[in-house]
């Protein structure tokens, strides 16, 4: 988080992930075949995130996402996708909002909640995969 709690300033990393999102699902997300998916939303701010994962040998081999929300929400989901890809399910399931925020070089304090949604969606996608794998 930033030292200035009411700052709207974004780091260059946040701007880059907002303008050049990684692993974003273009077009119809139903065509992106996944082993597990999770959807979360925040009715207060209106952000909604969909995270889809593909799993191979116990690791996230691919991840795709769609986010409807602000620049912080989009950048946070993009960063999450970079952090999760290649990790084991257990490792990915332990990614925290703070880890996402730190990866981005910080978020304005009033936007920190945006990073929380991404790891919640990933957690649901992993849970969905594990349920299907039983």
Q: Name the pTM for this structure.
A: 0.88
pLDDT exceeds cutoff 90 at 1 = no
DSSP secondary structure letters along 5-47: TT-----HHHHHHHHS-SSB--S-GGGS--SEEEEEE-TTT--
Q: Which residues are catalytic?
A: 45, 114
State pLDDT tens for residues 64-117.
Answer: 999 988 888 899 999 999 999 999 999 999 999 899 999 999 888 777 776 678
* Class of 12-133 in CATH: alpha beta
Domain spans of the chain? 12-133
What integer pLDDT is reported at residue 47 of this predicted model?
82
């Amino acid at each position: 988080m930033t030292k200035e709690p009411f700052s709207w300033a974004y780091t260059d990393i946040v701007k880059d992930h907002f303008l050049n999102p990684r692993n974003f699902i273009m077009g119809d997300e139903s065509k992106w075949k996944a082993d597990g998916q999770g959807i979360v939303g925040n009715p207060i701010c209106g952000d909604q995130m969909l995270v889809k994962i593909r799993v191979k040998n116990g690791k996230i081999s691919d991840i795709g996402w769609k986010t409807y929300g602000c620049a912080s929400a989009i950048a946070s989901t993009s960063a999450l996708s970079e952090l999760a890809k290649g990790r084991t399910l257990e490792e990915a399931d332990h990614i925290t909002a703070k880890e996402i925020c730190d990866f981005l070089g910080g978020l304005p304090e009033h936007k920190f909640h945006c990073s929380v949604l991404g790891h919640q969606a990933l957690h649901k996608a992993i849970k969905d995969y594990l349920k299907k794998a039983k």
